Amino acid sequence: MKLTTSTLLSLATAALAAPNPTHTTPLKPRQASHGCPSAVTLDAKTNVFRQYTLHANNFYRSEVEAAAAQISDPTLAAKALKVADVGSFLWIDTIANIKRFEDNLVDVPCDHIFGAVVYNLPGRDCAAKASNGELRTGEINRYKYDYIDKIAEIIKKHSNVAFALVIEPDSLPNLVTNSDVQKCRDAAREYREGVAYALRTLNLPNVVMYIDAGHGGWLGWDSNLRPGAEELASVYRSAGSPSQVRGIATNVAGWNAWDLTPGEFSRASDAQWNQCQNEKTYVEVFGRYLRDAGMPNHAIVDTGRNGVQGLRKEWGNWCNINGAGFGQRFTTNTGSELCDAFVWVKPGGESDGTSDPSAERYDSFCGKEESFKPSPEAGQWNQAYFEMLLRNANPPF
Ligand code: BGC
């Protein structure tokens, strides 16, 4: 998945002023208890992460435990195990993986919220190749009935569990900036229809939703702010302005720092055209446009892999950035009223795309000089990359 291309321009970034770790919500080990005694009702007019800790799901836990078992240095292996306790999102990236989602709902304590990413639109990842999905343009009915409806059924069945959903990374941002790409033009109608269907169908009392809004180096350009906000807001309205939409998710699978000043790319030749040189500014500036366009504008920001800055040659480089480190762990102590929480959305250690040029889903962004090699297919585990993220973690483990 990712942004790509020309319109993405050079991006900027911001620095990661690691918030005070003592304010980080304590992470909890796996517990036997499941759900709340009665049905959960979330008020999306409030920051529900203040009430619920982001759950450390068993799928990522098992990936991380397997990775730790492969590390011979006992100190590093012990640190690796701590990653298993970090709250993060589970990606429902195929119809088959809906089962993985359901299987992971067995141990969510009442004070936790389960994070999941809805990511399976027809013609997915239209401006890049690495994360092209299983559904082709034209398969919107499978998306609606075999994918979204099934997820909704599971969430209804687990009415005593709280859910936070990130809706379709990169999809609407691609429509804003990549309309020159034929695949994006072809996919546009079904992206809008699919996202609206997801918002309407998943608008359940125990759910809060955040629609993906790219990042500061994508929709943060002066000329993208208004069209970006209008694109998101119009899909939100066409879904009937669902009550459980809280706002946006930014920096998903991204690398931008939260509040680095000056931003990582603020000295680039085109920096004058982007006032959103870090994610904090992006959330605040884009948030104003969203509000004006009539959409809820609170945010969650992916800090999973932004612990090290200064690694990218260009802001738009998105694939397996070499030298990266895990970032801030889950916390609601963001210092910004609009930002509900820092969360790990991209599970660190899972690849962004293959570095094998002969693979069908090879994207040249994964062959860039600053991209880690070798790297497996998107979503597959990369042990060496995980160990690097761990060594470079900021704050450290
Ligand atoms: C991949 C998905 C994967 C997700 C999380 C995306 O880039 O396309 O298959 O689930 O990353 O790793």
pLDDT in tens, 222-253: 999 999 999 999 999 999 999 999 999 999 99
Q: Whose CA is nearest to atom 11 of ligand 1?
A: 379
- Distance (Å) from CA 118 to ligand 1 centroid: 11
Q: Whose CA is nearest to atom 9 of ligand 1?
A: 379
For residue 285, give the CATH number of its domain: 3.20.20.40
pLDDT in tens, 131-162: 999 999 999 999 999 999 999 999 999 999 99
With the most atoms of ligand 1 within 8 angstroms of its CB, the residue from 88, 125, 131 to mutate is: 131
Number of domains within the chain? 1
* pLDDT tier for residue 396 given thresholds of 50, 70 and 90: very high
Closest CA to 7 of 316, 367, 352: 316
Contact 64, 81 (CB under 8 A): yes
Q: Whose CA is nearest to atom 2 of ligand 1?
A: 379
Domain that residue 130 falls in: 5-22+35-391
- Distance (Å) from CA 363 to ligand 1 centroid: 14
- Distance (Å) from CA 131 to ligand 1 centroid: 7
User: Is position 123 within any domain?
Assistant: yes
Position 283, amino acid? V
User: Is position 310 within any domain?
Assistant: yes
Give ligand 1 pocket residues (Cβ under 6 A). 1, 91, 93, 131, 346-347, 350, 352, 378-379
User: Is position 11 within any domain?
Assistant: yes
Contact 231, 175 (CB under 8 A): yes
Please list the residues that pair with 301 across neighbouring strands: 250, 342
- Distance (Å) from CA 242 to ligand 1 centroid: 27
pTM: 0.92
The three-class DSSP label of residue 245 is: strand
Ligand 1 atom with least separation from CA of 97: 10
Whole-number pLDDT of residue 28: 47
Ligand 1 atom with least separation from CA of 94: 9
Positions of E strands within the chain:
53-54, 89-92, 112-118, 162-167, 207-212, 245-250, 298-302, 339-343
For residue 214, what are its two tokens?
């790219």
pLDDT in tens, 97-135: 999 999 999 999 999 999 999 999 999 999 999 999 999
- 383-391 vs 74-83: helix crossing angle, rounded to 10: 90
Average pLDDT taken over every residue of the chain = 93
* pLDDT tier for residue 290 given thresholds of 50, 70 and 90: very high
Cis upstream peptide for 374 (omega within 30°): yes
Closest CA to 226 of 262, 184, 177: 177
User: Is position 396 within any domain?
Assistant: no
With the most atoms of ligand 1 within 8 angstroms of its CB, the residue from 119, 121, 174 to mutate is: 119
Q: Whose CA is nearest to atom 12 of ligand 1?
A: 379
User: Is position 397 within any domain?
Assistant: no
With a pLDDT cut of 70, the percent of the chain lying above it is 92
User: Is position 251 within any domain?
Assistant: yes
Contact 16, 303 (CB under 8 A): yes
Q: How far is CA 24 from CA 113, 125, 272, 324, 386, in A?
A: 16, 33, 35, 22, 22
Sign of CA dihedral 269, 275, 278, 282: negative
For the cut 90, the answer to whether the pLDDT of residue 325 exceeds it is: yes
Task: Annotate 21-41 with b (16+ C-beta within 10 A) or e (fewer).
Answer: eeebbebeeeeeeebbeeebe
The DSSP 8-state label assigned to residue 188 in this structure reads H
- Distance (Å) from CA 1 to ligand 1 centroid: 7
pLDDT in tens, 364-374: 999 999 999 99
Closest CA to 118 of 39, 189, 171: 171
Cite the active site residues. Answer: 125, 170, 352
Q: Whose CA is nearest to atom 5 of ligand 1?
A: 379
Binding-site positions: 91, 93, 215, 218, 318, 346, 350
Whole-number pLDDT of residue 376: 98
